[in-house]
Amino acid sequence: MPTDAKRPLQLNDQGQLRHFLSLDGLPRELLTEILDTADSFLEVGARAVKKVPLLRGKTVCNVFFENSTRTRTTFELAAKRLSADVITLNVSTSSTSKGETLTDTLRNLEAMAADMFVVRHSDSGAAHFIAEYVSPNVAVVNGGDGRHGHPTQGMLDMLTIRRHKGDFTKLSVAIVGDILHSRVARSNMIALKTLGCPDIRVVAPRTLLPTGLEQEYGVRVFTDADEGLKDVDVVIMLRLQRERMQGGLLPSEGEFFKLYGLTEKRLKLARPDAIVMHPGPINRGVEIESAVADGSQSVILNQVTYGIAIRMAVLSMAMSGQTAQRQIEQQEDAE
Ligand code: NCD
């Protein structure tokens, strides 16, 4: 789908969030507003009473067609901390075709008067499909669609980088591992580019690299990990997405670890104050050494905490965009 086609679907006439489907085409100011809003919600998470009434009386429905632990639970917590009523459905994709499953499930959920759907699906474009289908007062948030995108993960990664490293325009960031199958890599490349990061590197074996990345995302591609990690400020490691691989894209996990795994020795090539990130779930000894995952440069667990704040920001912003949209519609109806 061309970028321009996504804008009207995601944003209302005032440029506010209406749905949150993809980082593609979203302006820097909006990404910064999400980060600033999340910063203020981090403070709520540190209070004894971790709640604000922003979504009181609203119903948020998490619909997960694909497994998830971190994303599902942090979306749930985010909605609860905003005082929404939350239900979570783990829907099996089974053998039913995509259109039928989604449409049937949605009809049922709409009958429960949900105000927001958070959707994870193994098919790229599923959240867009749903956003086009739902009634005008329902907001849709993408919790990860196939290989396409994972915009809240992208934004929580940006919050992590901003809180630990500051100004994006002065940073070198390396994204390492299974780029081909990673929706996280895509969302991160778009977010980093939009936020003005001048040196975005992707590091992977040729078999796990999609073609045309340089042109599409303005990144530098490295097949040699030692070269790619040299002097970077941020290392984002990715999991090998075995479930999305067909056939022999890799010789073996052992070989992958030898060439691309983040060991203490390899991390020394980055800047001494570099941070290490990973969206989880981590596979120790496959893409990352335990000593690094648990080491002083790792911010992997901070990412999880920041994920709640980012999801609170996105849910509340999409809902206030909705409210504005609703007011306009009501005004128009009255005229
Ligand atoms: C990622 C995902 O599901 O896309 N994980 C996550 O959201 N925490 C990355 C992965 O599964 O490797």
**For the ranges 8-17, 214-223, 268-277, 317-326, which has the lowest average pLDDT?**
317-326
Q: Which two tokens stand for residue 308?
A: 């709640």
Whether pLDDT at 213 is above 90: yes
Neighbours of 288 (CB within 10 A): 28
Answer whether 280 contacts ligand 1 (Cβ < 6 A): yes
- The mean pLDDT value for 39-62 works out to 93
Whether pLDDT at 146 is above 60: yes
pLDDT digits (tens, 9 = 90+) for 67-90: 899 999 999 999 999 999 999 888
pLDDT digits (tens, 9 = 90+) for 152-194: 999 999 999 999 999 999 999 999 999 999 999 999 999 999 9
Answer whether 144 contacts ligand 1 (Cβ < 6 A): yes
Q: Would you state the pLDDT for residue 326?
A: 55
Residue 183 in marked binding region: yes
Whether pLDDT at 259 is above 80: yes
pLDDT band at 334 (very low <50, low <70, confident <90, very high): low
Whether pLDDT at 307 is above 70: yes
The Å distance, Cα 68 to ligand 1 centre, comes to 8
Rounded to two decimals, the pTM is 0.92
Q: Would you state the pLDDT for residue 7?
A: 47
Answer whether 70 contacts ligand 1 (Cβ < 6 A): yes
Residues 6+ apart with CB under 8 A from 250: 205, 207, 208, 240, 256
Residue 70 in marked binding region: yes
Answer whether 150 contacts ligand 1 (Cβ < 6 A): yes
Single out the residue of 284, 323, 319, 311 nearest to residue 300, CA to CA: 284
Classify the C-alpha dihedral 174-202-17-126 as positive or negative: negative
The Å distance, Cα 151 to ligand 1 centre, comes to 11
Type of residue found at 285: G
